[in-house]
Structure formats: C-alpha cells, structure tokens
Amino acid sequence: MRQLVVLDASDFVSSEKENVSMKILTIFAKAHKEKVLGVSLVKKPIVDSVVSCDENCVKLWSITDRKEVSSHSFHREEGKKVTCVDWSLLDVSIVLSGDDGGGIVVWNVVSNSARYLKLFNKSIINVKCSPQQKIAAISMKTGVMQIFSYEKKGKILQRLNHRDEVTSFTWMPMADEDSKAKDAGLCLCSCTSNKVLYVWGAKGGHQEGFHHIPAASQGDKTSKSCHCTIRSVDSNRVIHRLEVFNIAIMGNAIFTVSKDRNLIQWDIEKLESKMMIPTCGGWIYDISVSPTDPSRIAFACGDQTAKVWKSKTQYQLDFTTLYQGLRSKVTCVSWHPRKEYQLAIGTEDGRVGVFDVFNMKPPILSKSTHRKIVYSLLWAPSTYTNGENPPKEEYLLYSVGDSIIYQHSGDMETRGRNLQEVIDAAMGSGPVPARSDITWKEGSSILTIGNEDGTIEMFSMPHLVRLTTIYSCKRMIVDLHFHPTYSLSSDLPSKYSGWLAVASSEPTIHIIDCTTVFEGGREGGKDLVHLEGHTTRVIKVRWSPHIEGQLLSISFDGTARRKRTEERDEVLVVLHVLRTARF
C-alpha cells in the first residue's frame, strides 16, 4: 500500500464511552511510489507533522495543510534502501532513518540539511530515539542491538547481544532505584522471536533481567530478576488471533497491531479490549452482502484474507477475519442464498472454497482449480444433462476463471464440473467462446453467461438449452446484473425487472431489456439505453434494491457514478475511488 492515513485518536483514548471512533484527519492517497515502510508523528514545535519513508526516500508532511513539505533521498544516493524512520523526541527538528547497508541519515527538517553516518555494516531493521539524550538504538536481524550517539560524526556507545532475532524494542524510564543503570535514568526493553523480554541498562549496557513471556493460562517463568511487571490481558470480546508485532502506549490505553491486520485498544486498568479497528494490507477486490442477513457484509482482500463485517451489533466495528488455509489474494466472495454461515471465496491462484464463518476453520476447497485468477462466483440452482439424476443440493457454486466455468457442490465432495459439458449435451459440440462472467436472476430459470468476445448467452435451466444470444457489446463482458423483481420503494413487481445492466471493457454501460426472454420468447434482448460518463472501462454495475431504475457503476477512471436509467441523469457520488478490481 502507498497511502498514508493520519487518525485523530484523542477522543478514542480519553473517552470512557464504548465504541468511540477515530477521526480521519487526512489521507495522502499517493504518498509514495513504493510500499510505505515506516511513519513517525510529532506535535510540537513543528505542529501536526508526520514523516514517512519508502525504500527510496523519506518525506515530511503537513497534516494541517495536507501536503508534502520536503523530502530527501540521501540513502538512494549512497546506493542503499531505506528500512526505517523515527523522529527525535528530544530535538524535534531531527529525523533519523536507517538503511539496508547499516547507514543512518540524520535529517534536520528545519534547515533541510542531512548527515550520513556509516556506523554499522549490516542492514538496520528498526531505529528508535531516546527521549532524554541525543542517542538512539537500532536492531539488526542477527539479534544485535546497538546504542549510538547521532551528534556530529556519530559514535557507537553500547552493543546488546541477543540469541534470537529482535522483533521489537522500546525506551523506558528505569523505575527501580537499585538498578545498575539508575544513573542513566533509562532502560531498553527488547523482545525476541523466542518470546523472551529483556531489560537493558542504557548507560552501561548491562542486562538487568529477562522474562519468558507465558501463555495466558501459564504462570510466570522469570529466570532472573526483572524490573517490570507482566500482566496478561484476556478478553471475551475481541482479541488478536495472530502474532502481535507492534505496541504503543497513549495515556491509559495500549494499542496493539497484529498480523491479523487488526488495531486493538486495551484498557490497562481493566485488562480488557475496548475497541478494534480492522485494517487491510491490500486492495479490496470484491464485496458481497448476505441475502439472509443484510447486516453481514463480506470483503475479498488482497492481504490473503476475507473479512466479514457485522454492521448491526453493539460494537461499531465488529469484523471477523478469515485467513485460515489461505495462501494467496482473495479476489471474489459470494454468500450462499439460504445458508447464512456459508461464504464462498475465489483466489488469485485459481482455488475455490467455502468458509463456515461461524467456526473459524480453514475453508473446504474444491478438488478442481482454475489455472489462473478466479474473477467471479455465483450460487445458483443446479444444472445437469438430460437423463442425469439431479444433484441433492438445491444450489451449486459456479466459478469463472481462465475462460471456463466450473460447477461445484457446496460440500466440495466431488470434483468440479466444466459447465460446457452440460451445454454441449443440450446443444451439441461446436466452437466454445471464452467465458468471462455468469449471473442468474433469482426466481427465474434462466442462466446468463457473458463472453470475452462481447456476446451474452441466455440458457434455460436445468439442462442449459440456449435461448438467445445478444450481440450488443463489441468487447469483453466484465460484469452482468439483473434489476431486482421487487424494490423497497413499491409492493408491486418492478417494471424494470427484466432489465440487464452490462459492463464491458469500454466506458459505455449497456442496458438490455430481456423481458421477452423471461416470458418465453427466444428473441434476443433489446438494447435500450447506453449510459455514458466514465472515461475508461467499467468494471462493476449494481442495481439499487431500494430505488427502482437506479444504477451504481465503478470504473478504472477512479470514479463511482449513480445513474437514473429512465431520465439518463447522473450524479457523481464518489469523487475518487481507489483502483480496485471489484466493488
């Protein structure tokens, strides 16, 4: 991700109320050309500023003015890549950044001058400045930490050795008067990959103690005097389900970030979680609203997870992250039309599976996989050849990928079936177009398939006899969606219920009237309306279930547009939408 998002956590930390939201102060949508590797905030005297870095440069941003103030690329000039950044707490005009060659850049953001210190010979993983002196600490993959002065030419002061890789460290005041480092007033706390917490004196570099971090149900395993108190935090509400890799303290609140992509606030006194903010480490590729419970919304994420948001609960952001057994990006999701616990997922590596969202177990995967990305999923009534026994399940799962459509059983006990076998049995063999999308209008017995050559075929179910072929589009069909039969604005069937919205690899949206086909006719649908406004190809269209004739579309031009098809008027409802694959 190349964005930089700044949140206001003041109400979030100080309020005693539950479910207090963080306010977004600003979003720098294109902050960096590469992945953001580090950020650091400061309040005074450089008011409301933040620094961030990618592997090529370090940038200073004004939160108030919402713009870049200055930047430097001294690491790149030395032929190195930036790995971390931190703002000096003692002198807020100084920003330190480390690189993969062991170099440190000391950047004065007021005078916009910098010094390059070559103090170390191995890649720096993290750097943190002392709050009391002009010194800082760095960590390396080898388990070595070093304390150094960044004044003038720089000087290494102490070397702290660990047996394992240091995963995190922080500066802390030394509270115990009997400590060997009491004259320094500071200590360093470090944690290693084998779950050992070390406490070091900052001045002498002596190890004050270490503590084996126990599991929640185990007792302490202190092997040496350790001048800190360990308290386990348990919660019946929200917890991290994967490793925690970052901790921050603000007042009486602790914030933790984990590999499960969740940011959780903990109450130190009550030892319980107060709020969870879910995040995503990649693009959102698809969204699906549960037909049995519209308050449950599923997201396909580019960080190898699927997320389920329960929007109507006592907790404002009640998310469940489904990550078990996933090894690639989730590109599409689809809820079962009757079973509220079944969520189908398709992945970038061609796999299709079904999650039981209530038991948090790995998905049941289909024995048939696509060779490439799965870009569409659909639950629809079963199809089978004439003479075959119908499947026991009322609904089967259809997946589209690498130009073919597979039909899967919900329990995935049998191999997926190429849907073309059913079509060939009914229509005879012949040229097979490359498939690109599939849809089914609920309550009907017609399955509609979009092809890469721009044609749209409509088949009767369950034997897939071709009823008609529509030739309205000239380029690949990307998305198909039928207008709902009923909307919340009327108790009567909609007059648009036979309308099909078509998104193809072009800026124009086609609206096709398929009413005659649903009424038993075999003539092609009538091309009614061409909706324009997008400047590049449209990738998703959806009819409103609330207002008849209203359509929402998104495009690679970065906009979402709401259209009234009857009057052909348009409202630009989102000025800028990030370039996601689906919405």
**What is the C-alpha to C-alpha distance for residues 334 and 346, in angstroms, rounded to an integer?**
9
pLDDT of residue 141: 84
Q: Answer yes or no: do 210 and 340 share one domain.
A: no
Q: Answer yes or no: do 212 and 317 share one domain.
A: no
Q: Is residue 357 part of a domain?
A: yes
Cβ(399)–Cβ(416) under 8 Å? Answer: yes
Burial class (CB in 10 A: 0-12, 13-18, 19+), 424: middle
- Measured over the CA atoms of residue 34, residue 36, residue 39 and residue 45, the dihedral's sign is positive
CA distances from 117 to 92, 143, 152, 205 (A): 19, 21, 9, 22
Tokens of residue 242, six digits:
């994967």
Please list the pLDDT of the chain residue by residue as tens digits (583 residues): 577 777 776 665 555 555 555 677 787 877 888 888 888 887 555 557 888 888 889 999 888 888 889 999 999 998 999 999 999 888 889 999 999 999 999 999 999 999 999 989 889 999 999 988 899 999 998 889 999 999 988 999 988 988 888 888 888 876 554 444 444 468 888 888 887 888 888 777 778 888 787 664 444 444 333 434 444 555 445 677 777 777 777 766 788 888 778 888 887 777 777 777 888 888 899 999 999 999 999 999 999 999 999 887 766 677 888 988 999 999 999 999 999 999 999 999 999 999 999 988 999 999 999 999 999 999 999 999 999 999 989 999 999 999 999 999 988 988 999 999 999 999 998 899 999 999 999 889 999 999 999 999 999 999 999 999 999 999 999 999 999 998 887 888 898 999 999 999 999 999 999 999 988 877 777 888 899 889 999 999 999 998 888 999 999 888 889 887 665 444 444 333 333 333 3
Q: Which of 469, 448, 471, 443 is nearest to 460 (CA)?
A: 448
pLDDT of residue 567: 54
Please name the amino acid found at residue 556.
F
Taking residue 491's Cβ as centre, other Cβ atoms within 10 Å add up to: 7
Q: Specify the DSSP element, H or E, that contains 76.
A: helix 74-77
Q: Answer yes or no: do 326 and 204 share one domain.
A: no
**What is the C-alpha to C-alpha distance for residues 366 and 293, in angstroms, rounded to an integer?**
26
Q: Answer yes or no: do 212 and 77 share one domain.
A: yes
Q: Answer yes or no: do 48 and 131 share one domain.
A: yes
Helix (H, G, I), strand (E, B) or coil at 483: coil
Q: Using alpha carbons only, what angle is made at residue 294 by residues 394 and 288, rounded to the nearest 5 degrees?
A: 70
CA distances from 485 to 63, 457, 516 (A): 48, 21, 15
Task: Please give the DSSP secondary-structure letter assigned to residue 507.
Answer: S
**What is the C-alpha to C-alpha distance for residues 545 and 542, in angstroms, rounded to an integer?**
9
Q: Using alpha carbons only, what angle is made at residue 334 by residues 552 and 3, rounded to the nearest 5 degrees?
A: 60
Tokens of residue 465, six digits:
């006899």
- Measured over the CA atoms of residue 527, residue 530, residue 531 and residue 535, the dihedral's sign is positive
Q: Is residue 10 part of a domain?
A: yes
Please name the amino acid found at residue 168.
S
Q: Answer yes or no: do 62 and 154 share one domain.
A: yes
Cβ(159)–Cβ(205) under 8 Å? Answer: yes
* pTM summary value: 0.74
Q: Answer yes or no: do 317 and 409 share one domain.
A: yes
Q: Answer yes or no: do 48 and 164 share one domain.
A: yes
Q: Is residue 331 part of a domain?
A: yes
pLDDT of residue 46: 52
Cβ(554)–Cβ(583) under 8 Å? Answer: yes
178 CB-near residues (< 8 Å, 6+ apart): none
Q: Is residue 250 part of a domain?
A: no
Q: Which of 8, 54, 46, 13 is nearest to 27 (CA)?
A: 8
Report the side by side order of strands in the sheet with 82-87: 82-87, 94-99, 103-108, 113-118
Q: What is the CATH number of the domain that holds 341?
A: 2.130.10.10
Task: Please give the DSSP secondary-structure letter assigned to residue 425.
Answer: H
Q: Is residue 241 part of a domain?
A: no
Which of 429, 449, 477 terminates a domain? The answer is 429
- Torsion angles phi and psi, residue 135, rounded to 5: -130, 165
Q: Which of 422, 437, 313 is nearest to 375 (CA)?
A: 437
Burial class (CB in 10 A: 0-12, 13-18, 19+), 173: exposed
Which of 219, 253, 288 terminates a domain? The answer is 219
Helix (H, G, I), strand (E, B) or coil at 514: coil
Count structural domains, the chain: 2
Q: Answer yes or no: do 201 and 286 share one domain.
A: no
Q: Answer yes or no: do 214 and 294 share one domain.
A: no
Long-range contacts formed by 533-537: CB under 8 A, 24+ apart:
533/507, 533/561, 533/563, 533/570, 534/507, 534/508, 534/509, 534/559, 534/561, 535/507, 536/507, 537/478, 537/503, 537/504, 537/505, 537/506, 537/507
Which of 429, 450, 466 terminates a domain? The answer is 429
Q: Is residue 414 part of a domain?
A: yes
Q: Which residues of 541-575 are buried (b: 16+ CB within 10 A; e: fewer)?
A: bbbbeeebbbbbbbbbbbbbbbbbbeeeeeeeeee
Q: Is residue 314 part of a domain?
A: yes
Residue with tokens 């949140």, as numbered in its chain? 7
Tokens of residue 147, six digits:
């304390």
Residue with tokens 């919405």, as numbered in its chain? 583
Q: Is residue 260 part of a domain?
A: no
Q: Answer yes or no: do 175 and 289 share one domain.
A: no
Name the residue range of residue 89's domain: 4-219
Q: Answer yes or no: do 312 and 418 share one domain.
A: yes
Q: Using alpha carbons only, what angle is made at residue 403 by residues 386 and 400, rounded to the nearest 5 degrees?
A: 70
